[in-house]
Amino acid sequence: MFGYMGKVLHVDLTTGESRVEELNEKLMAKVIGGRGLGAYLMWREVGPDVDPLGPENKCIITTGPFTGTGLPTATRALALTKSPLTGIYLFSMAGSRIGVSLKKAGYDAIVIGGKAETPSYLAVNGSTVEVKPAPELWRLNTSDTFKKLGDVVPEKSALVAIGPAGEKLVKFSALIGDDHRRFGRGGFGAVLGSKNLKAIAINGRESVEVAQPEEYQAWLKKFRAIVKEKAGPRDNFGRYGTGDGPAILSGLGILPMKNWQRGTFDEANNISMTDMRDKLGLVEKDSGCHGCPIQCGSRTVVKEGPYSGSATHGPEYETIYALGSSCAIGKPEFVIAANALCDELGLDTMSAGIVVSFAMECFERGLLKAEDNDGRTVDFGDDEGAYELLKKIAAREGLGDLLAEGTRAAAAKIGGGSDAFAMQVKGMELGGYDPRGAASQAITYAAGSRGGCHHGIGLGARVDALKPTRHETEGKAALIRMLGRKQISLDSIPGCTLGLSRAFDYDIIGEGLSLLTGIPFDKEKLEYDADRALTLERMYNIREGMTRKDDTLPKRLLTETLPDGPSKGNRLTAEDLDAMLSDYYRLQGWDEVTGVPTEKRLSELGLTDVVGDTVK
């Protein structure tokens, strides 16, 4: 099979046995790879009665056709599971070299189930697959884990590992790569921790066969030139990456500040990469995802003060917003140090920052008191208190044990109306774009497959907030449907959302896929396949019991107006959200009242036999 390895590796940690499933071209032509292949495997492998932290849950990693073929940014991989944070569908993406190594080992995907008897790591070296006991790795931070594993696995192996937070089953613990990339969202690390699986090492030497090699190389040269000219969503993206976001979004009035109480931050420039690099000189060198020519990341180092010596490959915008502006902390040194701490402990920086800012507001309102946290409050702007609270979350100590369950669960326990300012949807903490100043973003948060994800069905705020009509609701459903199709296509090939944002063109990508796989691809097919993948994700969550009432936003966003900035006085109403969602459902071919895909739409997408009588 061209463009694919044609195999899925299945591993049972309970028995230590593995098997190989053969894929066929007919299936891959429908699912493409990455997110599309993941949706197919999730539906089949992880049923509705599965406990996210039980041995029957599966950890799935998928690649795509472009993985390992030299396409810029296409070293990305997807990690999928049933989320312990949300209880529903989860996918998380990273530009980790684990995807390229998995494909070189001869597989398009790996499916891991069961539970190892003792803390172990999984070693995949081509056709040799071993579950190796490694109790000595338990309780280690991620960098020390990589050092120890580096001494015993083949030299070029790609490594991913969980930290102590994953071992403690923190519901938003992450999977960290030895190349500083992270599968952050939704608690994939906790699922691995529940399986006694500390790390995965993958090595291989196979190459991808191409249907038309000479023509593909000529196309690849042409596409690389396009990416070089149009790297990222704007000029200077390679220099600042997403890290210039705080200053930009604060200027638009949609930077969440003080747990989303405001939309601007006076210290936004301080924590933006423009200042970190150009003014403060904290950038040591450029960095980025494996094999990517854009290198939009930065290795930043704190040079003095209480966080001196802390270093991280970042911070990216979502991390800066969550640990910085949402906590009302304007110290770049803290953001860098907290980012590094989360990577070592294995925490998702986004959920970690938002649960801390939620706790800060609870302290502010008197719902939490000093005695709840070893005799001290943690107030907005308190970087020292926030840093210590992150450690407690990872160790599940004191107040950290409650916050480790996530914002939704913490609000349910704390009570006192705190659910109104628990900034989550379906249990997942929100990405950093306030929909009160960019209305289309409300659809993405409310209707996304994994909960409060900011881009899974289209990052509308990046388009919406730059227009004078950003507060209006009309036409926003069509915008999100268009952006969502593009997003799912990118996630399936797979490629970088921002890195290819200007270079992506359906005709060009379709041409490359056709030359690579021998399967005809064009815009119509790519959009159809994207609709199919999204609808299958939707059906998965419906099978889990999700209904339209779950497609909503935190009360703060539907009842409070923004008090400052260009969006001052603006808010969304429940009626606004309902109208946009009804429009969105209709465009997707889902029932406008229930949000359930219609039988007609399921038939059009070839999903009737797949989902069976799920909605009957």
Helices (H), 415-495: 440-447, 461-464, 476-492
The enclosing domain of 18 has a CATH number of 3.60.9.10
The answer as to whether 183 is a domain residue is: yes
Among candidate residues 370, 397, 423, the one where a domain is terminated: 423
What is the structure's pLDDT at 295?
81
Asked if 189 and 68 sit in the same domain, the reply is: yes
Among candidate residues 395, 423, 451, the one where a domain is terminated: 423
Cis peptide before 65 (omega within 30 of 0): no
The answer as to whether 320 is a domain residue is: yes
The answer as to whether 408 is a domain residue is: yes
Low-confidence winner among 205-209, 239-243, 454-458 (lowest mean pLDDT): 239-243
Asked if 597 and 525 sit in the same domain, the reply is: yes
CA distances (Å), origin 533, targets 151, 204, 597: 40, 29, 12
The answer as to whether 219 is a domain residue is: no
Asked if 299 and 350 sit in the same domain, the reply is: yes
Residue 545, pLDDT above cutoff 90: yes
Instruction: Please give the angle made by the CA atoms of 443, 568 and 484, to the nearest 5 degrees.
Output: 20
Condensed to tens digits (0 to 9), the pLDDT of residues 554-585 reads: 999 999 999 999 989 988 999 999 999 999 99
Residue 615, pLDDT above cutoff 70: no
- 609-616 own/partner pairs: CB under 8 Å, 24+ apart: 610/43, 610/536, 611/43, 611/536, 611/539, 611/543, 614/539, 614/542, 614/543, 615/539, 615/542
CA distance 150 to 410: 38
Asked if 263 and 307 sit in the same domain, the reply is: yes
The answer as to whether 430 is a domain residue is: no
The answer as to whether 220 is a domain residue is: no
Asked if 385 and 481 sit in the same domain, the reply is: no
Condensed to tens digits (0 to 9), the pLDDT of residues 382-417 reads: 999 999 999 999 999 999 999 999 999 999 999 999
The answer as to whether 394 is a domain residue is: yes
Asked if 325 and 474 sit in the same domain, the reply is: no
Tokens of 360: 């800060």
Segment 68-83 mean pLDDT: 92
Residue in 392, 374, 249 with CA at minimum distance from that of residue 324: 249
What is the structure's pLDDT at 224?
93
What is the structure's pLDDT at 616?
55
Q: Could you give phi then psi for residue 104, rounded to 5 degrees?
A: -65, -25
Condensed to tens digits (0 to 9), the pLDDT of residues 308-336 reads: 999 999 899 999 999 999 999 999 999 99
CA distance 302 to 283: 9
Asked whether 58 and 46 are in contact (CB, 8 A), the reply is yes
pTM score, two decimals?
A: 0.96
Condensed to tens digits (0 to 9), the pLDDT of residues 339-381 reads: 999 999 999 999 999 999 999 999 999 999 999 999 999 999 9
CA distance 312 to 317: 14
The enclosing domain of 292 has a CATH number of 1.10.569.10
Asked if 445 and 406 sit in the same domain, the reply is: no
Among candidate residues 397, 423, 449, the one where a domain is terminated: 423
The answer as to whether 565 is a domain residue is: no
The residue with tokens 């109790």 is 135
What is the structure's pLDDT at 235?
84
Residue 613, pLDDT above cutoff 80: no
Residue in 246, 240, 339 with CA at minimum distance from that of residue 288: 240
Residue 612, pLDDT above cutoff 80: yes
Asked if 197 and 107 sit in the same domain, the reply is: yes
Residue in 569, 358, 561 with CA at minimum distance from that of residue 452: 358
Range of the domain at 139: 7-203
Condensed to tens digits (0 to 9), the pLDDT of residues 426-438 reads: 999 999 999 999 9
Asked if 415 and 440 sit in the same domain, the reply is: no
Count how many domains the chain has. Answer: 3
pLDDT-above-90 percentage for the chain:
88
Asked if 64 and 100 sit in the same domain, the reply is: yes
Asked if 416 and 442 sit in the same domain, the reply is: no
| Parallel, antiparallel or unpaired: strands 424-425 and 428-429 | antiparallel
Condensed to tens digits (0 to 9), the pLDDT of residues 267-290 reads: 999 999 999 999 999 998 888 777
Four-residue CA torsion sign, 144, 145, 150, 151: positive
Asked if 191 and 318 sit in the same domain, the reply is: no
Residue in 143, 97, 149, 157 with CA at minimum distance from that of residue 120: 149
